[in-house]
Copies of this chain bind each other. A is one copy, B any other.
């Protein structure tokens, strides 16, 4: 089984899924899948750009969590006007990014990501 299978399960199952990425902490995408609807603009050209831009922010969130004794970062959700981004830490160096349409089901996407985590970890 490839990484594309669990990513596709998430994008197809969550409602309003635009795409999903498995990203290395070095900013290099490991796997990328796109759903049937991709909005116009920079995101349509390269979903990985979102992973790189926000990968840096996940590092900053880790540092802020250390300062607050908040423990490990598990998830981050960013709701923007034009799409919603969900980040789930897989391990220290790898995270999943899922992009949803503004009316996408965030709760279902979070559930599906959690459910596919073991399949992703098995392949790492």
Residue A124, interface by CB 8 Å? no
The segment from A4-12, A29-37, A67-75 found at the interface with B is: A67-75
- B71 with A81: CB separation less than 8 A: yes
Residue A118, interface by CB 8 Å? no
Chain B residues contacting A69 (CB-CB under 8 Å) are 41-43, 82
- Counted per complex, copies of this chain come to 2
Give the shortest distance, in Å, between A85 (CB) and chain B (any CB): 8
Residue A53, interface by CB 8 Å? yes
- A64 with B54: CB separation less than 8 A: yes
Interface positions of A (Cβ within 8 A of B): 41-43, 49-50, 53-54, 56-57, 60-61, 64-65, 67-83, 85, 107
